Structure 1
């Protein structure tokens, strides 16, 4: 961490000094690091720093080292900075995110200094969750989708999610499922032409949720792929990140109704003039399309991935049958 970055941290939160710095994680494919800095003085005891530094050589863990991949990642960081600088301030306690203290972009480096959610009441990270903890995440998604129902921004992704078809031509070309490959654009169009659109988180996996001590409340991080879309993209992807096929078979009778119940409550709370029953009808139908869309990405990106199980295979086949 350079002296310039340290100075930016101290200035952003009016701190006297940085007591300790720890590495939280490296960014994907060597594009930088996330640090936690313990501070002396200032308005907060610690901050999380996302330092993006474009690598001279890219080392993708699955070998996708292309110009398209680089440009997608580069745009994703610009999108995240734009999000924190604009619409993020609309989020409330029901769709909690870290407060942002500073964003800057200089040449091949980008810097985001944000609230440390550990000190804000969300110190727990989970790799396994129970039903109530999953509901906490679905409640967050429902309120987020309600808050931004009908919303869009030219500074965010035109179509949200990191696996969006137009940004993944290499993975589409590598697909092994010929029938799904042929139907990929129709699945994409069906989702994009949905009457009811919101902002989707775009990478709403379990790892991007921070939990309270009791697990009843969550906050979300990592908004590199936020953009317009059907809320089912986030819901299907979230469920895929924390449930295996034998558990997923029961989710539609429990977790999906819970999400829609929370969505209705949130739309009312935010006074959004929207036809909830119409949204539920359309999005319930699009759940399968959102799942098939993600399956399409996996088929090209990582054939045989553990998420390509019988449950997702069955849903994909149902969608293909519908499109015939």
Structure 2
């Protein structure tokens, strides 16, 4: 798991804030249900395949009696993720599962990995990739306790910030700025990542409630229920 999370941290950090580059914005393709044609290249304006704008029909079929505790948060979570993406977004792989990962080891036993199948690559919060990977592929024993989740995410967060700083230094040295401004990257604290993580867990469970359950679904359900209990429904504060 660490190998994959390091790959993701380097990928996310490399493209941190890329959407703020005006030269890139014209290549952001709207969701499939909104796409009017005419654009022959680019990446999705929202990464992954399970965000709400692509799953409205499935969402409407979710049993309100069983999932009322979840459904009342759906639109708020979706808006929150979009708003947070404007500031903290990066390029997502979009389909981080075991079937899309290959591993290798050198003579010293050091493991490396590479991901393929980028058909759902697009803009979003890093936690969309993280929740999808951990929720579908990680061993359940590694996420039984909140402390385990935080340990995993702290390691990822450190590597993410290291990658962003390295890219900043490279751009300053070469005078080349291939992505958007990273001046606010230092503000991406662990509490901010953790908040995004909890929002993404609830959003991922929303998708599974309409599509079907697999992977570490019992963990996702338990955590989603715990998370929304801590949210203020009256002020809609997440």
* TM, length-normalised to structure 1: 0.54
Give the CA deviation at 1:139. 0.6
Given candidates 88, 97, 114, the residue that maps to 1:219 is 114
Q: Deviations over 1:172-195 (max 9, x none)?
A: 122231231232111111111113
* Residue pair 2:93, 2:121 contacting (<8 A) in 1 also: yes
Work out which of the two has the higher radius of gyration on C-alpha atoms and give 1 or 2: 1
Distance across 2 between alignment mates of 1:145 and 1:280: 15
Verify: 1:201 aligned to 2:93, yes or no.
yes
* Residue pair 2:101, 2:115 contacting (<8 A) in 1 also: yes
Partner of 1:254, secondary structure, is helix
Distance across 1 between alignment mates of 2:157 and 2:196: 13
Q: What are the equivalent positions in structure 2 for 1:22-61 lying under 5 Å apart?
A: none
Q: Deviations over 1:225-259 (max 9, x none)?
A: 11111101111111112234443124324211110
Given candidates 151, 158, 161, the residue that maps to 2:18 is 151
Partner of 1:212, secondary structure, is strand
Q: What are the equivalent positions in structure 2 for 1:105-116 lying under 5 Å apart?
A: none
Distance across 2 between alignment mates of 1:136 and 1:306: 20
Distance across 2 between alignment mates of 1:161 and 1:280: 23
Structure 2 alignment gaps of length 5 or more? 20-26, 29-41, 169-181, 234-238
Q: Partner residue of 1:269?
A: 166
Give the CA deviation at 1:308. 2.3
| Greater relative contact order, per chain length (Cα 8 Å cut-off, separation 6+) | 2
Verify: 1:295 aligned to 2:205, yes or no.
yes
Q: Partner residue of 1:68?
A: none
Distance 1:259 1:185, change over 3 A: same
Distance across 1 between alignment mates of 2:204 and 2:125: 13
Q: Partner residue of 1:140?
A: 7
* Residue pair 2:135, 2:217 contacting (<8 A) in 1 also: no
Q: What are the equivalent positions in structure 2 for 1:302-313 lying under 5 Å apart?
A: 302=212, 304-309=213-218, 311-313=219-221
* Residue pair 1:196, 1:279 contacting (<8 A) in 2 also: no
Q: Partner residue of 1:315?
A: 223
Distance across 2 between alignment mates of 1:306 and 1:252: 16
Structure with higher strand content = 1
Distance across 2 between alignment mates of 1:286 and 1:323: 16
* Residue pair 2:97, 2:136 contacting (<8 A) in 1 also: yes
Distance across 2 between alignment mates of 1:300 and 1:161: 16
Q: Deviations over 1:7-64 (max 9, x none)?
A: xxxxxxxxxxxxxxxxxxxxxxxxxxxxxxxxxxxxxxxxxxxxxxxxxxxxxxxxxx
Distance 1:306 1:265, change over 3 A: closer
Given candidates 158, 174, 178, the residue that maps to 2:68 is 178
Distance 1:215 1:297, change over 3 A: farther
Give the CA deviation at 1:215. 6.1
Given candidates 185, 188, 205, the residue that maps to 2:78 is 188
Q: Partner residue of 2:127?
A: 232
Distance across 1 between alignment mates of 2:232 and 2:225: 10
Q: Partner residue of 2:39?
A: none
Q: What is the Cα-based RMSD across aligned positions, in Å?
A: 1.9
Verify: 1:249 aligned to 2:144, yes or no.
yes
Q: Partner residue of 1:22?
A: none
Give the CA deviation at 1:323. 4.4
